[in-house]
Structure 1
Amino acid sequence: MSDETARDDRFRQSVHMLERVLEGEPLGVVSAKLGVSRSTVDRRVKHLALQLTRSVGVDGLMQEGTAFVERLRQRRVAVLEALERFEPAPRPSTRAARVLTREEVTLGAMRVQARAPRPRHDLALYHLSFATGLRPLEVARLEVRDYLDEAGDVRQASIVRDDVAINGRSRPLHFRHRALDRALAAYLDERLHGGHGVGRSGAWRGLDPRSRLMLDARGLPYPITASPGVGQRHVCRPILDSYRRIFRLADIPGLSTQSARLTLMSRMYERGADEDQVGLVLGIADRSAVREQLPRPRPELAKVLEELA
């Protein structure tokens, strides 16, 4: 059994534990059925509930409430709804995610453009991560209308629709990134000439506004499938594979979708954003979860108190 398969099995078992506990089964009964200790069930149920409150948010339940089984049962419907929208953290990479410098991001883009078999498509995918912080599944769900208006202009202030967002909650989406706009302009022009997702002439740059923004090599939407036995959790394996390939071509140590999100977080902090704003853009419900990923830089006390007059 591969590490990824074992991890998925463990997650499914944790989901099953949580569901049984929410239905009112005592911890001891659940543990006996699964052949594990009562403390194991207690620990894993509370850990999963804590992840739900941090990543998705559970209506009526604060983070500290996840330490009490009875509170979870009182919010049973809200917990189950959050579970349907929850996506577990990706399997840890052998290389730690980190914040990239602007020079590294630019160098990676140059390498992708020079080495990729689909340079326009791959470069657009590359920049989408750094410019928006979207997760791969959310990128796969984006449509042309999310990026362009009917006149064909870039929607600089757009929105991650609730049916695009992993947690099922809409949030702001800004396209204010020149390198991304150049890459997407080239890619969408290539799509139009290839006849992929074409709409009526004179609107949406000739593309079907409800076609997916990014298409596979055949000009088809990236397939999104439901993971068996885990509620409504979905995954898009092909776009994950595309990102892994693109990041290998970029040949930047520590480059991953998570490092792209961390890099965007760092740039937002540099420009004065607070943790609430960062969490809103990246779809992270809890401030403490934002801090865990990348703490907000703190200025030296002497600098804060320095006389400015």
Structure 2
Amino acid sequence: MLPPTLDNQMDAAQALRASFLFAAAGVLLVYLLPALRGRFLAYGSRASSNSPDSKKSDERTPRAPQSQTLVSRFLDHLAIYRVPHSWFIHFYILSVVSSLFWAHQILNNGYFFNLVASFVHQRRTSMTANQVLLTWTLMLAQGMRRLYESVAFSKPSKSQMWIPHWLLGLLFYMMMNIAVWVEGVPTLLNHKPRALHDLPFLSILPLSLRTSLAVPIFLLASGIQHAAHHHLFTLPSSPNYVLPTHLVFKHVLCPHYTAECVIYLCLSVIAAPVGQPVNWTVFCGLVFVAVNLGVTSVGTREWYVARFGKERAGERKGMVPGLF
């Protein structure tokens, strides 16, 4: 038996928002504390012990007092729990599987869909059915493209990432694949589709004006991200790594991160319930993405400057041209 929805309890959408923001705050906290930042945030080439930035970090980081040795050792011990960087592919496998799973649940009025729905306040302004379909379709397309890139643009590598980083990524994609439809639960409950032929109300067209603008921007950002990933794949591996030269890297060093943020911003606009500027659940997911990739881009830029010098890295910022 499913639990009843109570007006005075946090509903599913609010819980997702809080989780996204809590995760973003956690990443920001780790970044702001030097003892944690160097141990837990760096991954890939930036985590290599013989990279230029790590050597400089060792030189400028004072030795801990004897009273802090135990804490330092404990943090060092936590930092050794790592998984291969290639496990990033698990994020996109999970994303695609989650998209298909929730489509099956919604179409079949499944137990897990009803479980989530039981924690959604019925007074909530709802997404329309075509918004649910369009947002779900774009999220599935994003997951499938990133899965393809993870396979097609893969190179043998010894790079690793901290296990909580991997777990956090899995959790993000699980939550985002609920976030893209959870604010449409009232509409879905009213229609209760059971098969594709029962979906005459699910029509992507006609599009609203802002959706007509957001979809092309979503596709453009996806194309830019794909171009950036392909170009990075064509560059020589470390230690012969060179600066990226593709047009999309002209003003920022991490255009694929910028594109990722634009993609989720577009999804939040497309999925906005009636009367809302954005879908706040998806937008909170965007906040996590922006914080996570933002702190990563800072480390990436420092790595480029340390390896190639400030003159060669130029005035390019990490993610936002001229600003950040």
TM-score where L is the length of structure 2: 0.29
TM-score where L is the length of structure 1: 0.30
Specify which structure has the higher proportion of helix: 2
